[in-house]
């Protein structure tokens, strides 16, 4: 064996590997610098147009997946929580629970609801408050995945039903098991998502950006039981209109109900107290 030749090959291979690693490091550094400059440019545009972001933006991350949700049969777990006589199964996906005695909600609505969920709802810590409908006297909750809200297509994961005395009489619950799908893809940072609405003319002079929240949304009717959820930024403008910006491809979806507040009057029950997250 020609050891000198072998040694030369090892040295050349080592130098090529170092050059490749240095190239990757410089690429990442340049990409990071480009992102910083892009964010600075967006901030300058917002400042020039007197557009204010009133809430803290979500933490940045470089990549993200879609997720899929599979319904879980939870009859046994719910029965263990509230008793067999109180449980009724709906369509093999939803569990309806009727309380033996209505649950009184005190003036401290947030604490009362939190206590009710802990005492009566299976995996209650995985649900997040969405809204209160005063006409139907119903309170809606969405499930979460890794502390991000998951919004299903035309249905709610958890609904509490109130009587006229502001007491909870029953609830309907469903539960999905989530898994990430496919490879992680590059995602937009929060400022880039805001810029998408800016470029589309949705955000304009003197507007306020009141909320930018990263979550997962299912925008289409599922085929079968499995639902696919896309990572989306929900962006609220002037405490009135809400838009979804796809966190990967930047497409825009206007949320239904932007101009209709007749059914859903915010986060308040009749007691006037608001329910928090």
Q: Which residue has the tokens 């609904």?
A: 159
CATH superfamily of 69-177: YycH protein, domain 2 (3.30.310.160)
- Give residue 62's pLDDT: 86
CB 231 within 8 A of CB 248: yes
- Return the domain boundaries, the chain: 1-48, 69-177
Q: Which residues of the chain have pLDDT under 70?
A: 1-7, 9-10, 14-40, 257-277
pTM of the predicted model, to two decimals?
0.79
The residue among 144, 139, 171 whose CA lies nearest residue 229 is 144
- Give residue 163's pLDDT: 97
CB 104 within 8 A of CB 167: yes
b/e sequence 53-85, b meaning 16+ C-beta within 10 Å: beeebbeeeeebbebbbebeebeeebbebbeee
Q: Which residue has the tokens 């109130």?
A: 162
What proportion of the chain, given as a percentage, has pLDDT over 70? 79
């Amino acid at each position: 064996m020609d050891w000198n030749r072998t040694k030369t090959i090892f040295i050349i291979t080592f130098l090529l590997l170092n050059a490749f690693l240095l190239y990757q490091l410089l690429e990442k550094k340049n990409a990071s610098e480009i992102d910083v400059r892009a964010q600075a440019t967006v901030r300058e545009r917002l400042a020039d147009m007197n557009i204010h972001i009133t809430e803290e933006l979500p933490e940045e991350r470089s990549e993200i997946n879609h997720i899929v949700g599979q319904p879980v049969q939870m009859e046994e777990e719910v029965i263990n929580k509230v008793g067999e006589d109180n449980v009724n199964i709906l369509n093999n996906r939803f569990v309806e629970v009727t309380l033996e005695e209505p649950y009184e909600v005190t003036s401290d609505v947030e604490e009362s609801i939190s206590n009710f969920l802990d005492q009566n709802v299976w995996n209650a810590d995985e649900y997040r408050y969405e809204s209160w409908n005063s006409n139907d006297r119903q309170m809606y909750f969405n499930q979460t995945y890794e502390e991000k809200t998951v919004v299903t297509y035309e249905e709610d994961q958890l609904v509490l039903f109130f009587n006229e005395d502001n007491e909870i009489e029953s609830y309907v619950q469903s539960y999905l098991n989530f898994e990430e799908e496919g490879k992680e893809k590059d995602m937009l940072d929060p400022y880039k998502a805001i810029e998408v609405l800016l470029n589309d003319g949705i955000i304009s002079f003197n507007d306020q950006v009141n909320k930018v929240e990263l979550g997962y949304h299912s925008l289409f009717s599922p085929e079968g039981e499995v639902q696919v959820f896309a990572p989306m930024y929900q962006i609220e403008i002037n405490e009135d209109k809400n838009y979804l910006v796809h966190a990967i491809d930047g497409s825009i979806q206007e949320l239904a109900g932007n101009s209709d507040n007749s059914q859903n009057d915010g986060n308040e029950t009749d007691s006037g107290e608001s329910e928090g997250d």
